[in-house]
Amino acid sequence: MNLSKLIALVLLFFSCSIVFSQEKVTLSGVIQDQETNETLIGVTVLFPELNTGTSTNEYGFYSITIPKGTYKVSLSYIGYSDKTEIIDINENIKKNFIITEATQSLEEVVITENIEKLSIRRPQMSVNALTSSTIKQIPVVLGEADVLKAITFLPGVTNAGEGASGFNVRGGAADQNLILLDEATVFNSSHLFGLFSVFNPDAIKDLKLYKGGIPARYGGRVSSVLDIYQKEGNSKEFHVNGGIGIVSSRLLIEGPLKKNKGSFLLGGRSSYAHLFLPLFDLDNVAYFYDLNTKLSYKLNDNNNIYLSGYFGRDVFNLSDSFENTYGNTIVNFRWNHLFNDKLFSNLSLIYSDYYYGLNLDFVEFNWNSGIQNFNFKYDFKHYLNTKFKLQYGLNSTYYKFNPGEIEPSTPNSGINADKLTEKYAFENAVYIDAEHKVLDNLTLAYGLRLSSFTRLGQSELNVYENNEAVTFNDDFQIYQSADPIASESSSRGKFIKSFLNLEPRFSAAYKFNRNTSVKASYNRMSQYLNLLSNTSSPTPLDVWAPSGKFIKPQILDQYAVGYFKSLKDGDYSLELETYYKDLRNRIDYIDGANLIANDAIERVILNGKARTYGLEVLFRKNEGRFKGWIAYTISKSEQKTEGRSPNETGINNGDWYNTVFDRTHDISITSSYNLNKKWDLNANFLFQTGRPTTFPNSQYEYNGIVVPNYSPRNSTRLTSYHRLDLSATYTPKPNQTKGWQGSWVFGLYNAYNRRNAASITFGQNQETGNNEATRLSIFGAVPSVAYNFKF
């Protein structure tokens, strides 16, 4: 579908809306928090007499078209008191609502959006959401509330290992997750090599994880979308909140720029455990710091502007001879414009940068690498009528890839400056999404995304015989790196390689009754960037590489079917989903591949395929003093790289093998108990099948040297991973709502001191000469205490 046809289709729907809106009127506006004026995402606006409703978008805006008359409208939002009003609607009305945070909102345990009847029939599936208060309740290592650790308790989501960065969704790799902070891409989501995430829970307003049925407005990754929005700040009063922990502290300040019109938010975090290391005669240093900021201003009733940013850095220093610095920088300017009571738009200008630096004083050179992008987005949300909603838009992203650069650190270092070839690319997309209530019991969501990726010219590009950067040695039956036969150079204005992909999306929900529904979804997605890593979790040194002549874009087809049941009027709920994912062009590495500082990465990779499938079960208790959920996932994740010709063996003899993200069984239990007004107790239990790996299964001796033989790729596993975490929150003055409000959080991570294996290495004992296996465990039992406050 070309752009002209897309515009014609939009105009057709717009003209239809004029016909459909006859004899009807539109109610629209924003919904805000009473104390802060913060707009609220996902508030349900329900008209019980009409059995219809809507919800607020990412900026708190809602719009609904209904027949003229007098109706009761009900507003509901997790953590807030329900609100009901009688409204006489005989003409188009713009009405803003204010709702109040519930007294016990900090004790809410919420995993998904509102569990009211409207969500039963909505076609959106495979989506989980977490509130900031929920994230803060989940016990984590070292007492620091953590977004990424919290989502690993959701079905279908696993961690990459203890002390490892990133997360895996439905058997996918960490680089297949699109992570957005205020619409800007985050390329590395972890601090201190995975011990913390880059997201400050105090600054988070809303978080949604899309595992399947992903709307067409999202693209560029094939596994999941983690969409996070920061708070806008309090436009009524000046407030401060924060926390002091054992290894890190945080502080967030917010207040009005102009009362009821503009606000600011400024949040910072830093770890400081390294300050105490000299007391133990340790010269090593490891710490992080980050800064969240946001400015919001209401120009008038139809226009709002936002400027948000994030800056974070990690520093690791080893005895003043080795220093590693890495982190993200994000800036986003957004303009919301309301064309009329049915058409809402958002324009975004986004800059995102990930930097990795390495200073090696003992060899007197510095190394740095990174990726930058500049993104233009323009999105529209069109509330045509109660049965039809439309979203459409476009985005264009320019990438600059710096694979690595070496610079001498001193004039006499003897190191020559060198730079790996920089790469450049454009990624563009147009999309259209529709939500269509076909019948009272049947609702559809369907959309289409047209994406393109263009690899731009670069200073040097290798040329290989038969256009193959990897060759197969028939004598030794192994893959080897090919030698370039020439190189070519082109200007940045030249197109090296272009890709164009059509990505349809579809989901449906059929409601049997007010409490039961079945849903199904299909989505195709394309990913044009690959993270070059041969470890089970990303590391700061990993490099992003664009698709081109030798790296094809990953193409995913995902199918999912689900059953959803609300029990006892929403006090309990049950969700079951089964899925199948088929992935083409997943990169694989030849044996012995060297990825670090490799200026010809195409010489060590092949294009293969992957498949994952599984069943997810989620049972929740949503009301009462005791709340929580049980999540169970049984799944399989496999990869296959066949030979390119009959004489080639492929990887692992061309057979399917487990990916490092495969977890057969994944069980998590999360619970919260409100003991009394002053004490809240929380406990989590997590069990996962051990991570696949490759171990030696035999050995032979040659000229006095012991040589190991290895089993097929990823055919063995580490031991199963499990742990129990406990925490208790003590609030000395629970009834105090003004002035200084404080609480203590006491935690015990890994309560029964399970020594989970992060890795197992094999070597030779220097004393006995015998081969031996060594298990590395990151954490045993870790107690923590933190003090949180606000005023």
Q: What is the pLDDT of residues 217-271, one digit of tens each?
A: 999 999 999 999 999 999 999 999 998 988 888 999 999 999 989 999 999 999 8
328 and 187 Cβ atoms separated by less than 8 Å: yes
pLDDT of residue 769 exceeding 80, the answer is no
Helix (H) or strand (E) segment spanning residue 9: helix 3-20
Phi-psi group of 414: left, alpha or beta (phi > 0 → left; psi -120 to 50 → alpha; rest → beta): left
SS (H, E, C) 340-389: ECCEEEEEEEEEEEEEEEEEECCCCEEEEEEEEEEEEEEEEEEEEECCEE
Quote the tokens at residue 381.
């949300």
Rg from Cα positions in the chain:
27
d(CA 519, CA 513): 13
Count H helices and E strands in the chain, helices first: 4, 53
Q: What is the pLDDT of residues 604-643, one digit of tens each?
A: 899 999 999 999 999 988 888 888 899 999 999 999 999 9
Rounded Cα distance, 72 and 137, in Å? 35
- For residue range 27-79, what is the model confidence (pLDDT) as tens digits? 899 999 888 888 888 888 888 888 888 888 888 899 998 888 888 998 888 77
Kindly tell me if the per-residue pLDDT of 104 is higher than 50: no
Query: What is the C-alpha separation between 30 and 503, in angstroms, rounded?
Result: 32
Q: What is the pLDDT of residues 178-193, one digit of tens each?
A: 999 999 999 988 888 7
pLDDT band at 18 (very low <50, low <70, confident <90, very high): very low
* Alpha carbon distances (Å) from 314 to 146, 165, 191, 271, 342: 16, 13, 6, 10, 45
Give the bridge partners for 248, in sequence order: 271
DSSP state of 643: -
Task: Give the residue, 241 or 767, on which the prediction is more confident.
Answer: 241
Q: Given this model, what pLDDT does residue 142 score?
A: 67
**5: pLDDT strictly greater than 90:** no
CA atoms of 167 and 690, how far apart (whole Å): 15
Backbone angles phi, psi at 10, to 5 degrees: -60, -45
Tens of pLDDT along 417-431? Answer: 778 889 999 999 999
Phi/psi at 642 (5° precision): -85, 165
Question: What single string gives the DSSP state of each residue in 645-713?
Answer: STT---BGGG--EE-TT--SEEEEEEEEEE-SSSEEEEEEEEEEPPPEE--EEEEEEETTEEEEEEPST
Helix (H) or strand (E) segment spanning residue 117: helix 117-121
- Do 315 and 323 meet the contact criterion of CB atoms below 8 Å apart? yes
* Cα of 506 vs its chain's centroid, Å: 22
Residue 208's φ and ψ, nearest 5 degrees, are -135, 135
pLDDT in tens, 705-743: 777 788 888 888 988 999 999 989 898 988 887 888 888
pLDDT band at 108 (very low <50, low <70, confident <90, very high): very low
| Interatomic CA distance for residues 117 and 734, integer angstroms | 33
* Helix, strand, coil content of the chain in percent (nearest 5): 10, 60, 35
* pLDDT at site 282: 63
Predicted confidence at residue 139, as pLDDT, reads 66
Place of tokens 């204010």: 98
Token pair, residue 651, equals 């990887």
pLDDT category, 324, cuts 50, 70, 90? confident
Strands 157-159 and 167-169: antiparallel
Question: What confidence category does residue 102 fall into, taking pLDDT thresholds of 50, 70 and 90?
Answer: confident
* pLDDT above 50 (res 17): no
Which of 121 and 522 is assigned the larger pLDDT? 522
pLDDT at 298 over 60: yes
Residue 4 CB partners (closer than 8 Å, separation 6+) = none
Token pair recorded at residue 386: 């109660």
- For residue 774, what pLDDT is reported? 81
pLDDT above 50 (res 109): no
* pLDDT given for residue 535 in this prediction: 67
Which residues have a Cβ under 8 Å from the Cβ of 59 and sit 6 or more positions away?
A: 30, 39, 41, 304, 336, 344, 346
Asked whether the predicted pLDDT for residue 351 surpasses 90, the reply is: yes
* Residue 367: closest CA among 400, 399, 401, 402: 402
pLDDT above 70 (res 140)? no
Which pLDDT value is given to residue 119? 65
Alpha carbons 659 and 172: distance in angstroms, whole number = 9
Residue 117 has pLDDT above 50, yes or no: no
| 206 against 630, higher pLDDT | 630
CA distances to 112, 364, 365, 413 from 410, rounded to whole Å, are 55, 6, 8, 5
Q: Is the pLDDT of residue 143 over 70?
A: no
Residues 195, 257: Cα–Cα separation, whole Å: 35
Among 519, 611, 508, CA closest to 556: 611
User: CA-to-CA distance for 781 and 783, rounded, in angstroms?
Assistant: 7
**Between residues 577 and 766, which one has the greater pLDDT?**
577
Average pLDDT, integer, range 422-447:
93
3-state secondary structure of 8: helix
Query: If you write DSSP's letter for every residue of 749-766 in order, what string do you get?
Result: ESTT----EEEEEEEE-T
* Residues, the chain: 791
Q: Residue 165 carries which side chain, given as an amino acid letter?
A: S
Strand partners, 388: 385, 436
Is pLDDT at 19 greater than 50 in this prediction? no
Cα gap 548→63, rounded to integer Å: 43
| Residue 785, CA atoms < 13 Å, CB-side half-sphere | 2
Q: Please give the residue that has the higher pLDDT: either 128 or 314.
A: 314
> What is the C-alpha end-to-end distance of the chain, expressed in Å?
54
What is the band of 7 on the pLDDT scale with cuts at 50, 70, 90? very low
Percent of the chain with pLDDT over 90: 39
User: Is residue 596 scored above 50 in pLDDT?
Assistant: yes
Which of 129-138, 397-406, 684-693 shows the lowest mean pLDDT across its residues?
Answer: 129-138
Strand duo 97-99 + 24-33: pairing: parallel
Please work out, in degrees rounded to the nearest 5, the angle formed at the alpha carbon of residue 332 by the alpha carbons of 328 and 338. 155
**Which percentage of the chain shows pLDDT scores above 70?**
90
Q: Provide the residue type at 133 as one letter.
A: S
Give the residue-averaged pLDDT of 376-380: 96
